[in-house]
Structure 1
């Protein structure tokens, strides 16, 4: 295939993307391992590799493109994340608005309201990730969002604990599509150096969900009260369900399955997106399940580090999501209305703090995001000490609110998976591992709130402190492991010298981070 100069001129306004199916016989030797790459092994982006051969980026044009991507993708990811958090915390609001009494729900059954959601999330996590790999990403995500909104509205029709718990399990199944979808979209659209900031923005927008959900619950409690045939707590689920369905429909028509199908990009923009993806040494995905990548993921210690970090973060997260309002009312002494309002400062911290940490990381830590995450985790550990060991309401409240700082660390870990795990099957497996830990933590978290320890719940507070301390140690381990792996790759390639030849199209061969010699881990 030949191409004219105008086909690769970066100033040409109309460039066509020519599809072709490459048949590769390249044998790569990576750390002594030989890998033969066939045509069905490659990334979907390989279809367009011929069009970006010798393609050069114009930095000025690229900045304009980046702004376009940010404005078209980030707001919807942020809105979906807001809705996701708002939907999960509806229990915390409804619990003090009369839900438990109306459904004749015992304290033990209420503990399982939070845990049952993550039981569904856990059981369906691998199937959800596999469906996201096998079928168009945006359509799969949007369908799950719409179904999730319908199930949320069904909560209002429940008349007993059993029906309500069933709805929670089903809700967990369909919400299990969300986080892995956001991580995959982030790896498709942004460079590694850009991903931490963007992940902090969309992850931090869960705080807007906290503010909006608390505001809706407060408005219903104060202005409508509970003396109606249709209870106010039921209205919370109806309203949030409608918002969720609306966003699912918007997502379906707005977010493309792959960047090369984006309705808001012209042909030149699409070539830029492909060239930018080469730097990540990752493409847009491969629908084939690869046993070799599954085995590598199982043997990779990072898989287990991500699992245990997800668990360490979510033991306190599960407690706060389901018992936060109860703590504020019982332990801190706020009224029902004030307890609902006191969820809002935490939401504000979620929105503002993660981007601030991302900027601090960029300007002062040379983009070493794991160091930023370690610092944040240690600050939250100090906050949990205040919550556990002080008695004045002011310091205790500061400790309570410090938990919301973990949004920056959890966003950082999502961006680490996006940046540091290559190979579609391996990314799916590690995504699953992290989110299984996330589920286990959220199942365990509410169970640490023992009724006999109310209203202070001393055991739950100690569990939060221990969990977050373990999370800090895991982040330190990951930092040194990735540093060592980069050094090993550099050493091996230096020893090989001119004998080692790497194909130019290796970025789109769907190799894993450990197979690809050009892949470097972000610290």
Structure 2
């Protein structure tokens, strides 16, 4: 005979007695055994804070503490990621292609092979992030890719270099989904865009640092026993390893276990994300949520958005220095320094557009559409303007893609409920990113150097996907919010399921989409 409900509740109480003490009494009256497995990790902490009233001034202090302790580390790891990815662009004009006897096609695959590894491992990476402690898993991946970056400097053939790039893509596939989840764990929905603008924008220091290191090695190349590009990979790899180890000890796996917060502040953290209705996460894979994601048109719009984005990103990210040197006729050293202008755009404009949304334009997707229209104009100038100065302006307008990424990643973080659905959405988002980044470099035909007109036309034609996708998302979210406003009146959240029940955005009647 099966246990009665009361007996099951008693077993739950016994199993939690040592860890949660008196709080178990409340859990016993809320959830069954099976329900307890399905809820978000934040649920047991939410029981503690169910009747907790926050002081607005204390909440501001907690937010400042989170910003001070978490954001700088996020920014440093993002700096390492972009620095490591962009080293190809710098190395390509300081001896990499010559020393490894790379053809134009082989160099295109240097860029695409990274995203091939990223693409193949993206969903397994998301599953590992769900199953194991997030920050520890990410730190392991960061240290691993730092080691692989160092190995780039030891390559003596195109084949071994391509292998290193593929392995690098595998381990970097952990980074972006981890940060999208962390942003939704630590910040309210209305705070997420600005924080995405900060941690994504400040990755511009990565390209700035990378181009500065490359320039220094190039300037003093006669003083070293190694080729400048080899030293570039070794130094950037060592920097990455250092910050990966630091993040292992510094970043907590979930906010409620933060070592830098006292018990009262931890309650503030839980209460702050209560209305997000996205929780901290759930380690159980839920097939129903996966199926819902596969039937949700928004997931496919995320994918197509990132395909259009990725084609331009992969093109400029890997061939930017080559265009500056070959098409715009800047000397090698100056071409390396000219990359710093793009780095400055990366740093300033993601946060600037986030502030535009915060103070002047209430629609986050509306701001994203503005950004992408500006990028599209820049790509048209780069491809079709008659004079080089206008083409150069268009080239730098394309660097607004980082601002576009910040906007859209905050939409994905805010508008997907249910942890399995969230990792599926993150995967679709980043698979689109990989597909685009694989396609972009392949459009650079050696026979068309230094103009590469086919690649520029491909960027112009495919970037329309990003604008159309955002317009359709805005229409869908407006319609869904109106529908939920009508239906939500019939529901309450007495047992906490609508808040921390790990429900999806579609099944949770109280879920509100950010527009």
**CA distance in 2: counterparts of 1:50 and 1:481, whole angstroms:** 34
> Is 1:112 aligned with 2:109?
yes
> Is 1:503 aligned with 2:503?
no
CA deviations 1:247-300 (Å, max 9, x no partner) are 101100000000111111110110000001101012100000000000000000
2:252 to 256, 260, 273: 256
2:145 to 141, 145, 148: 148
Structure 2 counterpart of 1:469: 464
> Is 1:171 aligned with 2:163?
no
Q: CA deviation at 1:467?
A: 2.1
> Is 1:283 aligned with 2:279?
yes
Structure 2 counterpart of 1:11: none
**CA distance in 1: counterparts of 2:206 and 2:388, whole angstroms:** 26
> Is 1:396 aligned with 2:391?
yes
Q: Please list, as runs of the form range in 1=range in 2, the aligned pairs for 1:18-33 lying within 5 A after superposition.
A: 20=24, 22=27
**CA distance in 1: counterparts of 2:78 and 2:462, whole angstroms:** 24
Structure 1 counterpart of 2:302: 306
**SS of the counterpart of 1:323?**
helix
Q: CA deviation at 1:453?
A: 0.9
Q: CA deviation at 1:468?
A: 1.9
Asked if the contact 1:125/1:435 (under 8 Å) is kept, the reply is yes
Q: CA deviation at 1:469?
A: 1.9
Structure 1 counterpart of 2:264: 268
**CA distance in 1: counterparts of 2:423 and 2:47, whole angstroms:** 28
Asked if the contact 2:372/2:466 (under 8 Å) is kept, the reply is yes
Structure 2 counterpart of 1:56: 53
Q: CA deviation at 1:49?
A: 2.4
Q: CA deviation at 1:229?
A: 3.6
Asked if the contact 1:141/1:181 (under 8 Å) is kept, the reply is yes
Asked if the contact 1:22/1:46 (under 8 Å) is kept, the reply is no
**SS of the counterpart of 2:444?**
coil
Q: Which TM-score applies when normalising by structure 2?
A: 0.93
Cα distance, 1:19–1:438 mapped onto 2, change above 3 Å: farther
> Is 1:125 aligned with 2:118?
no
2:39 to 39, 42, 52: 42
**SS of the counterpart of 1:265?**
coil
Structure 2 counterpart of 1:379: 374
Asked if the contact 2:493/2:499 (under 8 Å) is kept, the reply is no
**CA distance in 2: counterparts of 1:192 and 1:278, whole angstroms:** 10
**CA distance in 2: counterparts of 1:143 and 1:414, whole angstroms:** 23
Q: Please list, as runs of the form range in 1=range in 2, the aligned pairs for 1:60-75 lying within 5 A after superposition.
A: 60-75=57-72
2:359 to 360, 363, 385: 363
Structure 2 counterpart of 1:420: 415
> Is 1:161 aligned with 2:135?
no
Q: CA deviation at 1:393?
A: 2.3
**CA distance in 2: counterparts of 1:81 and 1:17, whole angstroms:** 40
Cα distance, 1:84–1:24 mapped onto 2, change above 3 Å: farther
**CA distance in 2: counterparts of 1:344 and 1:19, whole angstroms:** 54
Structure 2: gaps (5+ residues) = 1-19
Cα distance, 1:18–1:477 mapped onto 2, change above 3 Å: farther
Asked if the contact 1:25/1:38 (under 8 Å) is kept, the reply is no
Structure 2 counterpart of 1:292: 288
Task: Report the more deviating stretch, 50-59 or 249-258.
Answer: 50-59
**CA distance in 2: counterparts of 1:311 and 1:236, whole angstroms:** 30
**CA distance in 1: counterparts of 2:342 and 2:29, whole angstroms:** 52
Q: CA deviation at 1:395?
A: 1.2
**CA distance in 2: counterparts of 1:173 and 1:221, whole angstroms:** 30
**CA distance in 2: counterparts of 1:162 and 1:23, whole angstroms:** 60
Asked if the contact 1:18/1:48 (under 8 Å) is kept, the reply is no
Q: CA deviation at 1:17?
A: 9.4
Structure 1: gaps (5+ residues) = 1-15, 28-35
Asked if the contact 2:46/2:271 (under 8 Å) is kept, the reply is no
**CA distance in 1: counterparts of 2:21 and 2:209, whole angstroms:** 43
Q: CA deviation at 1:338?
A: 0.9
Q: CA deviation at 1:347?
A: 0.4
Structure 2 counterpart of 1:187: 184
**CA distance in 1: counterparts of 2:22 and 2:455, whole angstroms:** 58
Structure 2 counterpart of 1:3: none
Structure 2 counterpart of 1:337: 333
Cα distance, 1:269–1:221 mapped onto 2, change above 3 Å: same
**CA distance in 1: counterparts of 2:133 and 2:492, whole angstroms:** 34
2:217 to 208, 220, 227: 220
**CA distance in 2: counterparts of 1:22 and 1:115, whole angstroms:** 51
**CA distance in 2: counterparts of 1:89 and 1:17, whole angstroms:** 51
> Is 1:325 aligned with 2:316?
no
Q: Which TM-score applies when normalising by structure 1?
A: 0.92
Asked if the contact 1:19/1:48 (under 8 Å) is kept, the reply is no
**CA distance in 1: counterparts of 2:322 and 2:141, whole angstroms:** 30
CA RMSD after TM alignment? 1.7
Q: CA deviation at 1:101?
A: 1.1
**SS of the counterpart of 1:56?**
coil
**SS of the counterpart of 1:96?**
coil
* Aligned residue-pair number: 494
**SS of the counterpart of 2:505?**
coil
